[in-house]
């Protein structure tokens, strides 16, 4: 176990001055069992190490380890917890539990046996935590960590603090909110940077190789996480890559399942299943009709990449600007709100708010007469009436 403490110290000491993420203040750290889910690269490990560094000063009452550590080739998680607890351990931080075969059963046993021990663990967004071998439903509190919002990206880039605003506040007071922000910075000067490389915090490590590393991350999700967590045959992975590319280079895709099944050379049911697997992996966003929004495995009306950075990693320079705008809006609003397809505009949010997305010249023709309708317009700093800057929807979290 000493080797795990040494590794923790190395990681803590090498941690660059970390920035605060939106989720940190939402987590109730007093809970005995906390799960933090998220896709690769969104900062789950950094969030845990930051907590250890700031709260526990890297003392022996706290231990961080990744469950893919070679230590677990000859030791069980239960053995680690027992030894750690007997040495006075109180906080066990476990990274990437989906890489440990019997994770749910052993975590349940640890929770039930060592009642003074708090466990915080991370997992892939694909992992169905409540469907593990053991029932954790009455024990675990699950949080989801998403990538950087545009607000968080601006805070990193400008070293300024900006307040998050709820959707109702933005709709009602967008002129004053945008005016206050634009007095401090020029958000459009950072806009294209965010669309290209601002969603995953690891852009800070090396911007020149960011898209190459993001492409590698996509491959790891497809070739490792999906087969591990969804039992996908590795032979199907090239078909998933083909599907990703088709979504990346097209205008917002309105999928023809029959046509796609022919192109991808697989059945209609399998195509629909692929869509949902890729959504779970945070590679796709599926927009469904309002009536089917909560129906499992229902056919999506439109398919988007999960965030705009993926488009540049997959399609390079072949990205579609209309697709990027809608992808950004859906990505930022769907963290806290429910979005479905709209018969009048591009999106129906929370079953009552209609949004049309476009450039600065976008008019109201498509949504004229539609109650509670708005335009989210690109390339404008400050809006007017129901025309709101698209970038401002990046301040929701």
The DSSP string of 63-126 is: EEEETTSGGGGTS-HHHHHHHHHHTT--EEEEE-GGGSTTHHHHHHHHHHH-TT-EEEEEEETT
Per-residue confidence (pLDDT) for residue 122, from 0 to 100: 97
Contact indicator for 359, 378 with CB cutoff of 8 Å = yes
Per-residue confidence (pLDDT) for residue 290, from 0 to 100: 78
Element (H, E) at 34: strand 33-38
Q: Quick one: what percent of the chain has pLDDT higher than 90?
A: 81
Both tokens of 146, joined, read 């998403």
Across 114-136, average pLDDT: 90
Per-residue confidence (pLDDT) for residue 129, from 0 to 100: 87
Per-residue confidence (pLDDT) for residue 76, from 0 to 100: 97
pTM of the model: 0.93
Per-residue confidence (pLDDT) for residue 58, from 0 to 100: 67
Q: How confident is the model at residue 35 (pLDDT cuts 50, 70, 90)?
A: very high
Domain spans of the chain? 2-144, 151-395
Give 281-309 pLDDT, tens digit per residue.
999 999 999 765 555 667 899 999 999 99
pLDDT at residue 270 above 60? yes
Per-residue confidence (pLDDT) for residue 318, from 0 to 100: 82
More confident residue, 267 or 199: 199
Name, of 191-200, 259-268, 316-325, the range with top average pLDDT: 191-200
Give 72-114 pLDDT, tens digit per residue.
999 999 999 999 999 999 999 999 999 999 999 999 999 999 9
Domain with residues 2-144, CATH architecture? 3-Layer(aba) Sandwich (3.40)
What residues does 23 pair with on adjacent strands?
none
Across 314-336, average pLDDT: 94
């Amino acid at each position: 176990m000493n080797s795990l403490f040494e590794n923790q110290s190395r990681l803590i000491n090498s941690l660059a001055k970390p920035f605060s993420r939106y989720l940190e203040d939402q987590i109730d750290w007093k809970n005995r069992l906390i799960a933090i889910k998220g896709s690769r690269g969104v900062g789950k490990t950094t969030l845990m190490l930051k907590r250890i560094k700031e709260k526990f000063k890297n003392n022996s009452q706290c231990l961080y380890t990744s469950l893919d550590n070679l230590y677990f080739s000859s030791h069980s998680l239960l053995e680690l917890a027992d030894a750690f607890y007997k040495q006075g351990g109180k906080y066990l931080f476990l990274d990437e539990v989906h890489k440990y075969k019997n994770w749910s059963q052993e975590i349940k046993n640890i929770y039930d046996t060592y009642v003074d021990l708090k466990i915080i663990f991370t997992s892939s967004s694909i992992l169905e935590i409540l469907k593990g071998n053991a029932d954790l439903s009455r024990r675990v509190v699950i949080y989801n960590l998403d990538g950087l919002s545009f607000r968080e990206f601006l805070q990193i880039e400008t070293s300024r603090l900006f307040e998050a605003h709820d959707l109702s506040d933005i709709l009602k007071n967008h002129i004053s909110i945008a005016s206050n922000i634009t007095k401090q910075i020029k958000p459009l000067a950072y806009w294209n940077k965010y669309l290209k490389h601002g969603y995953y915090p690891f852009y800070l490590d090396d911007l020149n190789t960011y898209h190459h590393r993001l492409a590698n991350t996509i491959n790891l999700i497809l070739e490792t996480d999906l087969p591990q967590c969804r039992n996908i045959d590795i032979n199907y992975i090239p078909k998933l890559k083909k599907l990703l590319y088709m979504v990346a280079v097209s205008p917002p895709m309105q999928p023809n399942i029959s046509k796609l099944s022919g192109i991808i050379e697989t059945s209609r049911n399998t195509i629909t299943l692929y869509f949902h697997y890729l959504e779970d992996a945070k590679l796709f966003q599926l927009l469904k009709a309002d009536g089917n929004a909560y129906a499992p495995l229902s056919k999506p009306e439109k398919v988007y990449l999960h965030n705009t950075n993926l488009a540049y990693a997959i399609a390079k320079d072949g990205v579609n600007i209309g697709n990027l705008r809608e992808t950004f809006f859906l990505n930022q609003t769907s963290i806290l709100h429910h979005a479905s397809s709209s018969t009048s505009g591009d999106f129906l949010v929370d079953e009552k708010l209609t949004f049309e997305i476009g450039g600065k010249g976008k008019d109201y023709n498509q949504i004229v007469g539609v109650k509670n309708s708005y335009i989210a317009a690109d390339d404008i700093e400050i809006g007017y009436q129901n025309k709101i800057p698209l970038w401002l929807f990046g301040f929701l979290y």
